[in-house]
Structure 1
Amino acid sequence: MPKNAAVKAARLSIAPMMDWTDRHCRYLHRLLSTHTLLYTEMVTSAALVRGQALHLLDYSQAEHPVALQLGGSDPKELAVAARLGAEAGYCEINLNVGCPSDRVQSGCFGAVLMEQPALVAQCVAAMQRAVSIPVTVKCRIGVDDQIPEEVLPEFLARIVGAGCERVSIHARKAWLQGLSPKENRDIPPLDYDLVMRMKGLFPNLHISINGGITSLDQAEAFLEAGLDGVMIGRAAYHDPAAILCAADPRIFGTGTVTRPEDAVTQMLPYIEAHLTAGGKLGQITRHMLGLFTGRPGARMWRRVLSEGAHRPGAGPELVLEALRQIAPRDGLQQTG
């Protein structure tokens, strides 16, 4: 991948989401958009370096441009993990400073690191020295009783000083005490204006905004307002066609609008290969359930896949059966 591939792709990205953005999900998303930047689930530096779990770096070359998100707080260990990611071919290494889960807090990484900007800067600097690809950060605007207007500029100044040129900011605080990870995605209020002000303070820093964004219309509005990129999470997972099918022409100014029906048929050889290698159909089809959200037949599509994917012998034929439940659109005949 060209060194600047991730920078161009970061105009629109799909957020790293634990248990969701695995390699099968990313393969599907790539079929819907050629240019959108995709992220792995968070992989801990300890798992790679101490646990030697290098299988966590597996992905298909077809997923590019794809970035690796790391979790950790030991600069030396993160540097080794970043080098492993670069050697695996990822186009960017991203440091998680935003996840509020209990497991992340106990490991002293994720959102709790918002309280230690100097340590984050050390981590970024060590990772930068270890690789030639971009090292980026995904953060919150603050945690707990921090005052975002005060702590976020200092945090950004620290990581910029360490060599970070791109950051994705989830425009909510994270409450490490009193809210669950799920509640942290919804309850803390969004402060988009603060993120916009950060662009004014750091004009040379590539800033992507994240949090509560559910449409390409919103994404275009943020880009037109002067932000460099938009990162979309749950909306892209639950209704991928609405976000990704028109992303290439609308956000990147190239390519054509794709069809989820075509993505389904293009997934069939991938599914066959996965099953031949000993995988299970449900490991892939669970990411496909939202493909036809809002379309006539979508409920039956989900039902056929959900009820049938775990049955012995289930394979591509089941996916085609589910696809036949979707009503043709725009006068096109149904595939399969």
Structure 2
Amino acid sequence: MTTVTPLAIPDSRALLSVAPMIDWTDRHFRFFLRLITKRSRLYTEMITSAALKYGDKARHLDFDPAEHSIALQLGGADPQELAEAAKLGADWGYDEINLNVGCPSDRVQSGKFGACLMAEPDLVARCVEAMARAVPLPVTVKHRLAIDEMDEAETVFRFVETVRDAGCKRFIVHARKAWLKGLSPKENREIPPLRYELVHALKDRFPDLDLTLNGGIRSLDAATEHLPHLDGVMIGRAAYEDPWIFAEADARFYGGGPGPESRAAVVQAMLPYIERRLAEGVPLKAITRHMLTLYRGQPGGRAWRRYLSEVAHRPGAGPEVVEAALRMTETPALAA
């Protein structure tokens, strides 16, 4: 492990965080990543307030205590329903409640929430106010700069000012406009240009707010460049594509001890968790799919990924599959 000097900036539990990602940041991925970084804040997938009102609450909300510090991200546009969902999150033990005002998917648009709420800052303010009254936790908002033809600077400044006046003190700004017409969610993560300068300008305008930058950050070095100007940085897809980039996060940003001893140590620490989840009926592939990129770029990495992909889905597959894949990373002949 490389020795790094902690940044000379105040400690904050949300200094570095991992973005909420639908279909990815479930409880298995969060537990896995927590073995790599103890201090970075983790977020759930977006869970709609309706799903918590009418669905299986435990399935949506359960998490392992090791996952702290953890935020529950909610989607919705009904203040009372969101307040009830936030109360559930607080009762379940989450550390933060976050409102999604950034997702551009068709499903979210049909529910009239997510990024389309950038056009309705007054409604977002009412939602935040209702949630903040319902829980003692920080209520935060993750949002875009604007949507469609709206002017980015004018929109985001008005949005933040309006929602701030409702009591929100922390904003996570995805530094892109979202195009709700004609672009897919994947394209919306890549095509609209990033406008980091607008997020920095927001901090200049609202110095008392806690502002976190999201969008296009793919390394700890890139995060470091923004932290002297902002209060936090959120990393998204890069955390999933190469989770080992967080191995130095605690030492670099929080002055904590060294990260995990090795990738193999992380795998070994996952085995008891895997056994517990399998006993509850969780299939192995639901967990190992999050571990496929742990050895990205490492000797035996392709064999690790291939073996887990081909074997973990088989009926009865258990921890021995992971142990066999691990041996392939340690024995060149097996990895050939």
TM range (shorter): over 0.9
- 1:238 is matched with 241
- 2:230 is matched with 227
Identity of aligned residues (%): 58
Query: Which of structures 1 and 2 has the larger relative contact order (alpha carbons within 8 angstroms, sep 6+)?
Result: 2
1:49 to 43, 46, 53: 53
Deviation of 1:139 after TM superposition, in Å, equals 0.2
Contact persistence 1:100–1:174 (CA under 8 A): yes
> Are 1:306 and 2:302 matched, yes or no?
no
- 2:6 is matched with none
TM-score (norm 2): 0.93
Inter-partner Cα distance in structure 2 for 1:52 and 1:280: 19
1:297 to 282, 289, 300: 300
Inter-partner Cα distance in structure 1 for 2:58 and 2:324: 36
Moved over 2 A (4+): 50-55
Deviation of 1:313 after TM superposition, in Å, equals 2.0
- 1:332 is matched with none
> Are 1:209 and 2:230 matched, yes or no?
no
Corresponding residue SS for 1:326: helix
Inter-partner Cα distance in structure 1 for 2:243 and 2:294: 6
Range moving further from structure 2, 315-324 or 199-208: 315-324
Contact persistence 1:45–1:78 (CA under 8 A): yes
Amino acid across the alignment from 1:245: A
Contact persistence 1:245–1:260 (CA under 8 A): no
Deviation of 1:52 after TM superposition, in Å, equals 5.3
> Are 1:257 and 2:259 matched, yes or no?
yes
- 1:74 is matched with 78
Range moving further from structure 2, 250-259 or 24-33: 250-259
Inter-partner Cα distance in structure 2 for 1:92 and 1:260: 30
- Cα 1:132/1:186, change in 2 over 3 Å: same
Amino acid across the alignment from 2:276: A
Report 1:88-103 matches (<5 A): 88-103=92-107
Report 1:107-256 matches (<5 A): 107-224=111-228, 226-242=229-245, 244-256=246-258
Inter-partner Cα distance in structure 2 for 1:206 and 1:146: 24
2:36 to 23, 32, 38: 32
Contact persistence 1:113–1:120 (CA under 8 A): yes
Inter-partner Cα distance in structure 2 for 1:128 and 1:164: 8
C-alpha root-mean-square deviation of aligned residues, in Å?
1.1
Deviation of 1:55 after TM superposition, in Å, equals 2.4
Inter-partner Cα distance in structure 2 for 1:37 and 1:314: 31
Report 1:277-292 matches (<5 A): 277-292=280-295
Inter-partner Cα distance in structure 2 for 1:76 and 1:107: 16
Per-residue CA deviations over 1:135-163 (Å, capped at 9, x if unaligned) read 00000010000101111010000111011
- 1:272 is matched with 275
